[in-house]
Structure 1
Amino acid sequence: MTATRFRDSARYWRTPLLPGADLLTAEYHDHAFTPHWHDAYTIPVIEDGAESFRYLGSEYVAEAGSVPVINPGELHTGSRAVDEGWRYRVMYAPIEFMHGLAADVAGRAQPLPWFGADVIRDLDLAHRLSRAHRLLEADADQRGGFRGIAADEAGMDSLAVEGALLDALSTLLVRYARTRPEPLRPIANDPRVETMKERLATDMTAPMRVADLADAVGLSPFHATRLFTQATGLPPHAWRTQVRLQRALGPLRAGALVADVAAATGFTDQSHFTRHFRRVFGVPPGRWQSS
């Protein structure tokens, strides 16, 4: 019997019960995510099919029932690992929220939580995360007056929904959080890399040449590019594009026009912005914004 092929369909949404977070309910077949990062903890639950992704220099496969957590700021990709594709639910949990929850759970100040690269295979945790995500989506639908499939599950009040969220995320922290290890490569802490990052990120609309970066750190263009790529995993132009995309999210959330956001963050035009945005978030910026 042939498995059902998933379609490329994604819905981003938000909830006041997890302030500052983006949440995603999606399935993918043809779409492949280019190398990118998020300024939040990426906490997915694979519900069906399997996803393949590259992370911290290795290739991984996350199948149904697994939880492939990605730490903030870490490059990763994403594509189907099986013919039918994959379906998942994702919480992009803010750093401040997870850090505060870790301190609440421990009863004292904690270092920033960090998760190992290996895919978490814990069916109990996956069930807790999936249930919390579904209840949050149902609650968000009810608040918005929308009654979809998820809304049929909403038979409890916000206290219970928030309780399921805290239960799921605290279970993740207690079982799998650790302290971030020191970089294995000294190059990751090279001050010349930080100088180049600062130059690239200072003004997103200003034109920039490799020679400008090289002059700032006293290297040739070739050696400056190689040093930067080895340290960050992306060449300077691709790294700058990722910063532009992350900076675009705030104005989009605030309701700014997509064309204005594109111009303010240094993209050539709206179509250029849309093309890069879709590669990272799976939907055009206007649709992401409308959630």
Structure 2
Amino acid sequence: MTTTRFRDSARYWRTPLMPGADLLTAEYHDHTFTPHWHDAYTIPVIEAGAEMYQYRGSRYVAEAGSVPIINPGELHTGSRAMDEGWRYRVLYAPVDYLQQLAEDIAGSTQPLPWFDAGVIRDIDLAQRLSHAHRLLEANSDALAAHAAMLDALSTLLVRYGRTRPDALQEAAGDNRVSVMQDLLSSELAAPVTLAELADAVALSPFHAARLFTRATGLAPHAWRNQIRLQRALAPLRAGVSVTEVAAASGFADQSHFTRHFRRMFGVPPGRWQGA
């Protein structure tokens, strides 16, 4: 029996019903997502095929009907887990949106929602998320779409929402790492050397690089590129040209920016901006 191979095709789009959110409808076969993170909660629903991804030091496979959620700021990858590839829908939900929803559900102040590593296998939840995503994309009945998304996300929070473990908070709290991150992110177009990072935290370049990579999962230059890409999103949304955004973000040229952007988002910046 022959099976149809998915093609690399992705469409980013947005809706006024969820300000600040990005939504993605896509299928992939050849594309591989290099290690990256998002500032938002990544909430995918696998509709066909299967995706393999690395997350928190482990490898996972998410098959059709599953929800492989990723917390904001956490490093992960993505690639096909079977010959055909995979098709999915993704909601990149802003942190403040999901936290406010958690507080609305509880009727009181709540800590930041957090989700355990691993694939959520809950057909009912997957169907709710997929249904809401399709209604938002159709853009024909705002009332029904908004209600469906609130239903899906509240179901996710009630069934699987947790509090961020203390161990993860402590690992991210090393002051020396914070000092290096501040240096790397303050002037993105200005050159920064490893020696400068090391001097700022009174370490050798070797130990500074090792501490940074152990804490963040990325080498300093790769982490800086991720910050550049995240900060590029706002001006792209505002209609600033890709060339201007690339230069302001500190990339050597537009092709360099486009190459890194596509590895992270699966589409070139011009197409992402067109959403």
Distance 2:170 2:65 in 1: 36
The answer to whether the aligner puts 1:202 opposite 2:186 as a matched pair is: yes
Deviation at 1:62, TM superposition (A): 0.3
Deviation at 1:2, TM superposition (A): 1.9
Give runs of aligned pairs for residues 104-143 of structure 1, distance below 5 A: 104-139=104-139
Give runs of aligned pairs for residues 1-291 of structure 1, distance below 5 A: 1-139=1-139, 154=140, 157-183=141-167, 187-291=171-275
Aligned-partner residue type, residue 85 of structure 2: G
The C-alpha deviation readout for 1:195-242, integer Å capped at 9, x for no partner, is 000000000011011000000000110010000000000000000000
Q: TM-score, length-normalised on structure 1?
A: 0.93
Distance 1:249 1:14 in 2: 13
CA RMSD, Structure 1 to Structure 2 (Å): 1.0
Q: Residues 46, 213 of structure 1: CA spacing in aligned structure 2 closer, same or farther, 3 A cutoff?
A: same
Aligned-partner residue type, residue 71 of structure 1: N
Deviation at 1:109, TM superposition (A): 1.0
Aligned-partner residue type, residue 240 of structure 2: A
Distance 2:169 2:126 in 1: 33
Identity %: 74
Gaps of 5+ in 1: 140-153
Aligned-partner residue type, residue 265 of structure 1: S
Aligned-partner residue type, residue 26 of structure 1: A
Distance 1:170 1:189 in 2: 30
The C-alpha deviation readout for 1:175-206, integer Å capped at 9, x for no partner, is 00000001259553211111000000000011
SS in 2 for 1:89: strand
Q: Residues 253, 185 of structure 1: CA spacing in aligned structure 2 closer, same or farther, 3 A cutoff?
A: closer
Deviation at 1:159, TM superposition (A): 1.2
Distance 1:98 1:189 in 2: 23
Partner of 1:145: none
Q: Residues 23, 214 of structure 1: CA spacing in aligned structure 2 closer, same or farther, 3 A cutoff?
A: same
SS in 2 for 1:280: helix
Distance 1:20 1:190 in 2: 30
The C-alpha deviation readout for 1:145-186, integer Å capped at 9, x for no partner, is xxxxxxxxx4xx311110001000000000000000012595
The C-alpha deviation readout for 1:112-161, integer Å capped at 9, x for no partner, is 1000001100000000000000000000xxxxxxxxxxxxxx4xx31111
Instruction: Give the stretch that moved more between structures: 198-207 or 187-196.
Output: 187-196
SS in 2 for 1:121: coil
Distance 1:289 1:186 in 2: 36
Q: Residues 234, 176 of structure 1: CA spacing in aligned structure 2 closer, same or farther, 3 A cutoff?
A: same
Q: TM-score, length-normalised on structure 2?
A: 0.98
Aligned-partner residue type, residue 177 of structure 1: G
SS in 2 for 1:223: helix
Deviation at 1:17, TM superposition (A): 0.7
Report how many aligned residue pairs link the two structures.
275
Q: Residues 228, 130 of structure 1: CA spacing in aligned structure 2 closer, same or farther, 3 A cutoff?
A: same
SS in 2 for 1:53: strand
Q: Residues 287, 163 of structure 1: CA spacing in aligned structure 2 closer, same or farther, 3 A cutoff?
A: same
